[in-house]
Structure 1
Amino acid sequence: MKILHVAAHLGGGVGKAHAALAEARREMGSQERHRFLLLERPQDGRFAERIAAAGCEVIVSPTQAETTRFVAEVDILQIEWWGHPRLFAFLAQTGLPAHRLALWCHVSGLAPPVVPAALAKRADRTVFTSPCSFEAANLRNAIADRPESFAVANSGFGFAARSRPRRPQEGAVSFGFLGTLDFAKLHPDIFDVVDGARSDIRLRLFGHVDPQGAVAARAAAMRHPDRIVFEGHAEDPAEALAGLDALLYLLAADHYGTGENALVEAMSLGLCPLVFANPAERAIVTHGETGIVATSIEDARRWLDWMVDNPSAVARIGAEAARHVGASHSPEASVAAFAAIYAGVMDAPRRPRDFAEALGATPAAWFAASLGGPPAAARARGDHAAERLLAPTSSKGSLGHFQACFPDDAGLAALA
């Protein structure tokens, strides 16, 4: 079976997931053949290199003729979807030959950027990275009409099991966070939770932070700013996490995440996570068994104090977290899930699809599709996630990102 993947690039979580899957397929002796077309060169090429080393062909910026030929000769076209501007352009403007279509969604779609319902309706299979995406309001009718055309395949995988998880029966519990240090993902009140702890704890934050940005400013404004330690980017996440006992993984309620690599990786190493009751986190963490799920800022403060006072319980929950994700979040499990998904897709006939009708024909229309509707309507309803995408930044999927890809588009200029 031949599968052609089209991705904006293979950096970040998408590249990391596919590198793990490619290596697992090689070890499992899979007969599937996977080729990747990248619409732009990734800034970090490590994952693309791993995918190529595992036996997959990776092509950057293919020509129109190459793309048409590749789509025509494969069994399944798989779009790696997260609302990147160049993916909209690829689908709406390329004029693809008849094909079978799988859509793997790397955002939850619960808040902007959404998974456009018209796009999901045109796919033979829409694959979520978390069951939380079944709660997406704009997909409710599409799922009800064709429930068999939706599936789940995890994209977050743990590290290989260590000889033993850390067991802090004595002394202080070591807390950390690893991930995106930006309020598009991180909950702004995480610093209030740490500030309100009874004990003089330290929270080690691994990830790039803008020293002049909102996250650094919020930390500096704390009553106890010395409780926050910015460690910078972690070249080796496993090594960084191995020095911790617990993960303070408090994310914004409308964050775009889904597979939550950092959370799964931390749990695989025996860390006890403290999370909010957001859909993506609830799909991974079971309260009191594999982590702690807080329902409010004050609840998170209470649980943080409890974790400091109960290090042996933290170790016990961390050990169960490692056992759970080791069984449920492995590349081998996702390879098997995709094998079943591909078998179902093969039952569908090849057919052409009008993506311009589904997504719009202009960059401004594509941006509106990613928002889930006209920008004015998003502003009127006070949609915070949409407001972040409308801000003049270059963060992924934002209006600034669309303008960077299509600098001469008058429609985007009018929105800005």
Structure 2
Amino acid sequence: MTLATMGSSPALDAPAPVGFAEKIWRINWGLVLVLTAIAGVGVLALYSAAGGRFEPWAARHAVRYGSAFVLMLVVALIHPKVWLSLAWPIYIVSVLMLVAVDVIGKIGMGAQRWLVIGPMQIQPSEIAKVAVILVIARYYHGLRREQASQFLYTLPPLMMILVVVGLVMVQPDLGTAMMVLMGGGALLFVAGVRIWMFLAAGIGAVACLPIAWSLMHDYQKKRVLTFLDPDRDPLGAGYHITQSKIAIGSGGMFGKGFLKGTQSSLNFLPEKQTDFIFTTFVEEWGMAGALVLLGLFTLVVIWGFSIAFRSQHHFGRLLALGVTAMLFLYVFINTAMVMGMLPVVGVPLPLVSNGGTALLSVMFACGLLIGVNVYRDAQLPRTR
């Protein structure tokens, strides 16, 4: 036995605990500033959507962001081993809440997506997006690399994803179901699942399209047909996207000016405070404003990848990549939807659209992302 061998031990090789001051220093304050700037754009857009009034959306959005900001920092300072241990409980609770929605949920705008708990109205599908990321990151953290690429080890996380997708589709909420499916698929890819499995899944999905079409609601079929031919029903199913295109196009390079958006102020633009908030913003601030906002989101995605690559534990890498993929899908689907590049599926723009559960779940996810950076050199047990 050599002297080097005698003098080494797991305890001595382990990194020293991170003190509270260093935890605060490790928080990515640049990312925090960008998130706050995006939320500020949301307050501005919601103020305009209400005709130059803080009520009913802008003031509420600002208060929600303040509460969510505190939540984000608290989550970021909690050791990832806690989230590793809570991944399954959070997932199970989110699934039970989705089941509860299908049984006793509140119906609104033709869908059953909300749970009413006292004065609060919660949309469990938004929570489920983050829960799926947590539980899949935990699952693959407990596997060896060669196991992650084997078919049998792919079945459990696939079932985790499909259970949530199925429950969300029943509500029905096609947009959220798409996000969970695509986000979960992206996480499986970075975890090491082989390409041939994705190709096989794609072929199977195409083969099931006739069945899926027969199970879709009439309004969903109309949205798909309108996407393929926007002029087939300009005053019916195509009204939303037609008005959105008019508003975006009329904004030009620098927009019509703050509080001067005609499509929004004259109520030609439906759901201007939620799904079509990007349209409301672009009509007034033009392409220049759109590029600034999309640039802020791009910074968030870049920082997300940077945090993932710096993490020295697999759970943190997968968690950061999963949150980053979720944020990218939010922005991509919403902006593509309002520009007519995708069917209208009801996906909000994160930190900008009005909505309490969506805002809190996004900020909770961002707290997890920042926490990966704070504890990037932590040593986590390999659990299943």
Which of the two has greater helix per residue? 2
**Whose relative contact order is higher, 1 or 2, with alpha carbons under 8 Å and at least 6 apart?**
2
Q: TM bucket by the smaller chain? A: under 0.3
Q: Taking structure 1 as the reference length, what is the TM-score of the superposition?
A: 0.24
Q: Taking structure 2 as the reference length, what is the TM-score of the superposition?
A: 0.26
Which of the two has greater strand per residue? 1
